[in-house]
Amino acid sequence: MPAATLDAFLNSYLGPPDELRSAVVATVRQLTQAATKVRNTINQGVLGTAFAGTRSANADGDIQKDLDIFADDIFLDAMRHAPVALYASEELEQPVLLDSQAPLAIAIDPLDGSSNIDTNVSIGTIFSLLPATGAPDENPAASFLQPGVKQLGAGFFIYGPQLALVLSLGSGTHVFVLSTRLGTFVQAYESRIIPQRTQEFAINAANYRHWDEAVRLYIDDCLEGTEGPRGKDFNMRWIASLVADCYRILMRGGVFLYPGDKRKGYRQGRLRLVYEANPIAYLIEQAGGAATDTITRILEIEPEGLHQRVPVVFGSAREVARITRYHTEPSAIGERAPLFSRRGLFRA
């Protein structure tokens, strides 16, 4: 039986006539067209007109690349042809009002992992679809200050060996790959399920000295392997591309940590709640995983600002829960407690 196309998947999602669902479908279709344009530019590499050149800092203080701006322009233009009231982006200080009567708001990181542009590492685009609330023309920020549980859908494109779309519209997390032969996205994986247990973690270990004690203790216990309280060996992965790390976890499990730390400007982590953490958390939960700020469920956090940062832990549910216990019940974890010592009875 041939795999379903994205169009067939979206048509099945539509069901009876519904304004919001119709708007979501139309928006996803516009996003795929924009992502294909971005992919074509990325594939040209340094031979293209928009690649790894550096510009000034964006609204949130991060250095912009030419490709950041190019991607933002492409997606903003695409959303002008979709039923979208408001467009909020990492690259823009304030949301852009497109159509005050449209039912949707989109928050987007147009080019995630842009520090990897010139190293040929997979980068991507992350998006969150929200209902437009209140009066978009009077208070455009309000639509983006809804907790992540209010998302109508979320996804990301990953520009890697294949152009893939990871998408959830509330009924599982699905993966579609662009078929150049068919000229359309084809479903590669239906309803991904992340294993609850794992022996793989992703974190930037260079920041070890800056971490809080709970994070250091967790990583120490993993690194002790079979000789430590976990009783098993772990592998470490770190791509420094959120979409690439997330895609790997969706494919084979694992846990990702980007905690807050003691460096200036990093107390609340570096990932943005509205257009990075929320859509990723939505995808992860729809795949049976979990996502927290080390303690609180990401999707329940009430945003206070469009560019708000948040610590992030996501992936295999049991491992995420264990990391929460390192923060809330340290006396019951690792070598601090006799039952969890190297010769202990309980080894997760």
Binding-site annotation: residue ranges for substrate = 112-115, 204
**Both structure tokens of 211:** 């971490």
- Feature table: binding site: 90, 109, 111-115, 204, 276
Strands 153-159 and 123-131: antiparallel
Give the integer Cα–Cα distance in Å for 161 and 80: 29
Give the integer Cα–Cα distance in Å for 288 and 282: 10
SS3 312: strand
| E strand map for the chain | 54-57, 63-65, 84-89, 96-97, 104-112, 123-131, 153-159, 163-168, 174-179, 184-189, 200-202, 235-236, 255-258, 271-272, 290-292, 309-310, 312-315
Cβ-proximal residues to 338 (8 Å cutoff; 6+ apart), any chain: 344
- Feature table: binding site for Mg(2+): 90, 109, 111-112, 276
Name which of 136, 155, 158, 156 is nearest 146 in CA terms.
136
Cβ-proximal residues to 254 (8 Å cutoff; 6+ apart), any chain: 198, 200, 201, 202, 237, 248, 315, 316
Read off the DSSP letter of residue 62.
P
In order, the DSSP letters of 192-238 are ----S--SEEE--GGGGGGB-HHHHHHHHHHHTGGGSTT-S--EE--
Name which of 142, 115, 120, 56 is nearest 91 in CA terms.
56
